[in-house]
């Protein structure tokens, strides 16, 4: 954020991608206008749901939905509170998909494939408890030990290696397009890239209270201590303040950035 030097008179163009970054910009910079563009309509509907939920729900319900990825009363909340602030098409989308938050929201869709695979691998290898221990480790030295001795051998097994060789899996589950995959292959295989990129992480970032991407990947949900800014109580209150004024900056577009 400090390099972007954003302020309340600035306008932005961002890739929607569920809206995490865009919501952070709204909290930290109070940008005048934030145009969120994505060719995938689902991403826009998800961000619209988050914006409406910020204005209509209490923090506990909001975190249950988007932090834990589960809310047993989502359908009731949708119809009784959230719906008036949704566009017709977004409401219809969530009405049809009202089981999205019945359990494990982040394990659904194409990206959920990779998370499900990780859970299956951990279960078969008998290291599910070690995953919990990694995400609650008290030091990076402890993280690094758990990763090196338990999780790294489980993840980098022949089945995972075979999947990483598949362009279809890399695109649908990991979101790596073919052209980007080709760029990686210039320097080695996708397996080598994943291996070399993951090895330094446990000794560099705190999973317990900092690098929230990794607990999401490993656990399938965020925690109150490791989550994006909009999921913190202070971030939620900043978005909700002044009758949700910060959310007025958003404009959602299902389109290409080239148009």
Rounded to whole angstroms, how far apart are CA atoms 179 and 158? 25
In a domain, 141, yes or no: yes
Does the pLDDT value for residue 178 go beyond 90? no
122 lies in the same domain as 215: yes
Structural domain boundaries enclosing 157: 109-219
In a domain, 6, yes or no: no
Rounded to whole angstroms, how far apart are CA atoms 105 and 95? 15
117 lies in the same domain as 161: yes
pTM of the model: 0.87
What mean pLDDT comes out for the span 171-187? Answer: 80
- If you ran DSSP here, which 8-state letter would residue 136 be given? T
Residue in 18, 60, 26 with CA at minimum distance from that of residue 247: 26
98 lies in the same domain as 114: no
Pairing of strands 250-254, 11-15: unpaired
The strand pairing partners of 38, in sequence order, are 254
State the total domains in the chain: 2
Token pair 């910060």: residue: 246
What mean pLDDT comes out for the span 193-197? Answer: 80
- pLDDT, greater one: 252 or 215: 252
In a domain, 259, yes or no: no
202 lies in the same domain as 248: no
pLDDT band with cut points at 50, 70 and 90 for residue 95: very high
91 lies in the same domain as 31: yes
Pairing of strands 33-38, 11-15: parallel
15 lies in the same domain as 99: yes
113 lies in the same domain as 95: no
Rounded to whole angstroms, how far apart are CA atoms 47 and 239? 13
């Amino acid at each position: 954020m400090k390099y972007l030097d954003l302020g309340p008179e600035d306008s932005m163009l961002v890739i929607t991608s569920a809206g995490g970054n865009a919501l952070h910009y709204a909290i930290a910079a109070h940008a005048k206008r934030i145009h969120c563009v994505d060719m995938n309509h689902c991403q826009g509907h998800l961000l619209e749901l988050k914006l409406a939920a910020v204005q209509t729900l209490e923090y506990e319900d909001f975190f249950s939905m988007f932090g834990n990825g589960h809310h047993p009363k989502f359908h009731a909340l949708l119809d009784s509170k959230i719906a008036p602030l949704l566009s017709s098409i977004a409401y219809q989308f969530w009405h049809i998909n009202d089981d999205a938050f019945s359990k494990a929201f982040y394990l659904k869709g194409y990206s959920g494939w990779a998370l499900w695979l990780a859970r299956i691998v951990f279960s078969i290898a008998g290291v599910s408890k070690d995953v919990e221990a990694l995400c609650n480790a008290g030091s990076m030295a402890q993280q690094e030990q758990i990763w090196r001795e338990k999780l790294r051998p489980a993840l980098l097994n022949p089945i995972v290696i075979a999947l990483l060789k598949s362009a279809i899996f890399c695109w649908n589950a990991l979101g790596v397009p073919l052209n980007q995959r080709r760029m990686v292959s210039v320097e080695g295989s996708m397996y080598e890239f994943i291996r070399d990129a993951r090895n330094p992480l446990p000794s560099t970032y705190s999973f317990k209270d900092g690098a929230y991407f990794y607990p999401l990947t490993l656990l399938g949900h965020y925690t109150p201590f490791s989550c994006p800014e909009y999921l913190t109580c202070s971030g939620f209150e900043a978005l909700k303040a002044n009758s949700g004024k910060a959310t007025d900056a958003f404009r959602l577009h299902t389109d290409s950035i080239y148009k």
